[in-house]
Amino acid sequence: MQSIISIKGIEKTYAGGFRALKGVDLDIRRGEIFALLGPNGAGKTTLISIICGLVNATAGSISVDGHDIVRNYRQARATIGLVPQELHTDAFERVRDTVAFSRGLFGHAPDAALVERILRDLTLWDKRDAQIKELSGGMKRRVMIAKALAHEPRILFLDEPTAGVDVELRRDMWGLVRALRDTGVTIILTTHYIEEAEEMADRVGVINNGELVLVEDTSALMKKLGTKELTVLLAEPLAALPPELADWRLELNADGRELRYVFDRHADRTGIPSLLARLRDLGIAFTDLNTRQSSLEDIFVSLVSDRRPA
Amino acid sequence: MNIQRINARGIWSIYRFEMHRFKRTLWTGLAVPVITTSLYFVVFGTAIGSRMTEINGIDYGSFIVPGLMMLSLFNESIFNASFGIHMPRFTGTIYELLSAPLSAFETVLGFVGAAATKATIVALVILLTANLFVDVRVEHPFLMFAYLVLVAVTFCLFGFIIGIWAKGFEQLQIIPLLIVTPLTFLGGAFYSIDMLPEPWRTITLFNPVVYLINGFRWTFFGTADVAVGISLAATAAFLLACLVAIWWIFRTGYRLKA
Ligand SMILES: Nc1ncnc2c1ncn2[C@@H]1O[C@H](COP(=O)(O)OP(=O)(O)OP(=O)(O)O)[C@@H](O)[C@H]1O
Ligand SMILES: [Mg+2]
């Protein structure tokens, strides 16, 4: 598939000497919704800021729709809309004016009808003549989205769009993101809500300590999510797994006091009844059974904790 | 529109945004120069002028008009331009300017153009106010206007640099208060440097503001303490220095980008 953003070997060392990005390679596909996940300070905002021209990279190159972001910055930036993580707005400007201003800044002719449509989509039309300082935090965030959409970008960056946003606005926002994707806009978002990435994104990238540790189709991740785990707490510890249990590929944990069995929850036959029957036949007594389902969160946490520097 | 070469709409948007900001404070913005000019005329024109009727054959009241205009022009230019660029840095809205398809030159043009427009308007308001007190003759009106715009643009560029350099709002005031205003008062805004005894006269010639004020005064009266060519050269040199500094700021992203 053709990539719309191509990131090669991007490194960022901040003035203080802190290495925020350690060689990131990533291709964003045209028309996809890509979710960038990672703990606080992972480097998500830094990466987005470099692509959008707010931060200079220390090394590496990025092209947007074939345009190098440094050499052909005009063409590269013209297609990008950015909604930053922090709320940065003017205070005294009126909502409608500030959106029109953003459109002009990107070199587009005024289009009152378009501005109206964007404001209506974001339920800001009633506030069109209000000064931004009169708006609530959630409304200000919507103003920032409206500003980013004002020049009809083909690529939209949403840096934690749902942080501090109520349930209704969150739902509206996702509706908007889907509608934009349907018109062919590529969307890159960061979030701390894993369900959000799960529900919205075509692909997920996990970044930690300035390194991209995983990029995968959300559906492939969902397959991993499909696994379930059964833990059998034994009454008496076992020294070794009896060969009669080899069919289930079990793990013996906790000094022989636990049997762990991982299975596919979508399979017609989980193998649990037969496993329990076999245990009984072998005279292995157990005191408790636990099942749990792994989530994207688990995968995320295990990836992140595996990579923590010692 | 084709923005491959120049993003004219982007420049115009910044210009309009800044002019809109000035419009919000239009009345104070215009009342201040009118009142200050009137005060200067009461103090200098009436109190002192009654003892010092003429300088180089020019009525004292008229003589101080170019100096008054320059003093305001310097302050307005520096203040408007520095505040204009400092504000987005302070509120964080600069993200949008940095992410827009605008060159450094275009961004500066928008901000400096608006600040220079306002500063020029204020200087002209001072000229009109002065006319209520004295009859000001302007020998070369077109040159006067051109010089006004040139100095306004130069000091707006200078203000733009201050706005990027400053770490806080108080720093915006430091250079105008500690350097520009004293240099203006000492630079013959209200007297002819020929009135000074040596060595002060010679020392004063190292004050760049002397050349700016005298160049401007020449457009009014056709005479000045220093040759108009030297004045123009000094102004152009300052303009060039500011342009180089701004070119460097955008090239390195100094205090604009991490
Ligand atoms: N201007 C800066 N100067 C120095 N260090 C910085 C700067 N901006 C960010 N950092 C550091 O770079 C690292 C990555 O920051 P970044 O904002 O990219 O993280 P993030 O993944 O967006 O985190 P969050 O989820 O909290 O938004 C952090 O350790 C941060 O302290
Ligand atoms: Mg962030």
Return contacts of B220-227, CB within 8 angstroms, 24+ apart.
B220/B62, B220/B65, B220/B66, B220/B136, B220/B137, B220/B138, B220/B139, B220/B140, B220/B144, B221/B56, B221/B58, B221/B62, B221/B63, B221/B137, B221/B139, B222/B139, B222/B140, B223/B56, B223/B57, B223/B58, B225/B188, B225/B192, B225/B193, B225/B194
Q: What chain B residue is nearest to A17 in terms of C-alpha separation?
A: B258
Nearest to A156 by CA among A177, A170, A131, A182: A177
Q: Is A20 in the pocket of ligand 1 (CB under 6 A)?
A: yes
Question: Quick one: average pLDDT of B83-96?
Answer: 93
pLDDT of residue A267: 66
Pocket test for ligand 1, best of A10, A18, A82, A191 (most atoms within 8 A of CB): A18
Least confident of A8-22, A160-174, B14-28: A160-174
- The Cα–Cα gap between B241 and B235 comes to 10
Residues of A whose CB is below 8 A from B24: 92
Higher pLDDT, A276 or A134: A134
The arrangement of secondary structure in A227-293, i.e. its CATH architecture, is 2-Layer Sandwich (3.30)
Q: Is B1 in the pocket of ligand 1 (CB under 6 A)?
A: no
B126-174 confidence digits (pLDDT tens): 999 999 888 888 999 999 999 999 999 999 999 999 999 888 888 888 8
Nearest to A83 by CA among A15, A1, A145, A170: A145
A226-250 confidence digits (pLDDT tens): 677 888 888 888 888 888 877 777 8
Is B25 touching A (CB cutoff 8 A)? Answer: no
Are B122 and B29 in contact by the 8 Å Cβ rule? The answer is yes
Is B163 touching A (CB cutoff 8 A)? Answer: no
pLDDT of residue A188: 97
CB contact under 8 A, B257 and A78: no
- The Cα–Cα gap between A173 and A142 comes to 9
Is B4 touching A (CB cutoff 8 A)? Answer: yes
Is A18 touching B (CB cutoff 8 A)? Answer: no
Report the share of chain B in percent with pLDDT over 70. 95
Domain of B87, in residue numbers: 8-252
pLDDT of residue A226: 63
Residue A65 φ/ψ, nearest 5 degrees? 55, 35
Neighbouring-strand partners of residue A159: A190
Handedness of CA B257, A78, A214, A197 (dihedral sign): positive
- The Cα–Cα gap between B232 and B146 comes to 11
CB contact under 8 A, B101 and A78: yes
- What is the count of structural domains for chain B? 1
Question: Quick one: average pLDDT of A130-154?
Answer: 94
Domain boundaries defined on chain A: 3-223, 227-293
pLDDT of residue A309: 47
Question: Quick one: average pLDDT of A140-145?
Answer: 93
Higher pLDDT, B247 or A293: B247
Q: Does the pLDDT at position A177 exceed 80?
A: yes
Interface of A with B in 84-103 (CB under 8 A): 84, 86, 88-93, 97, 101-102
CB contact under 8 A, B3 and A80: no
Question: Quick one: average pLDDT of A186-200?
Answer: 85
Q: Is A205 in the pocket of ligand 1 (CB under 6 A)?
A: no
Helix, strand, coil percent values for chain A (each to nearest 5): 35, 30, 35
CB atoms within 10 A of CB A300: 21
Is B102 touching A (CB cutoff 8 A)? Answer: yes
Q: Does the pLDDT at position A43 exceed 80?
A: yes
A3-223, which class in CATH? alpha beta
Are A286 and A234 in contact by the 8 Å Cβ rule? The answer is yes
CB atoms within 10 A of CB B70: 26
Q: Does the pLDDT at position A91 exceed 80?
A: yes
Q: Is A85 in the pocket of ligand 1 (CB under 6 A)?
A: yes
Q: How far is the CA of A209 from the centre of ligand 1 (A)?
A: 10
The answer to the question of residue B2 being in a domain is no
Q: Does the pLDDT at position A44 exceed 90?
A: yes
State the ipTM, two decimals: 0.87
Q: Does the pLDDT at position B40 exceed 80?
A: yes
Q: Does the pLDDT at position B12 exceed 50?
A: yes
Question: Quick one: average pLDDT of B116-125?
Answer: 95
Q: What chain B residue is nearest to A147 in terms of C-alpha separation?
A: B96
Least confident of A148-157, A260-269, B30-39, B166-175: A260-269
Q: Which amino acid is at A257?
A: R
Q: Does the pLDDT at position A54 exceed 90?
A: yes
Maximum mean pLDDT: which of A105-119, A230-244, B29-43: A105-119
Q: How confident is the model at residue A310 (pLDDT cuts 50, 70, 90)?
A: very low
pLDDT of residue A178: 92
Question: Quick one: average pLDDT of A86-91?
Answer: 91
Q: How far is the CA of A12 from the centre of ligand 2 (A)?
A: 15
The answer to the question of residue B257 being in a domain is no
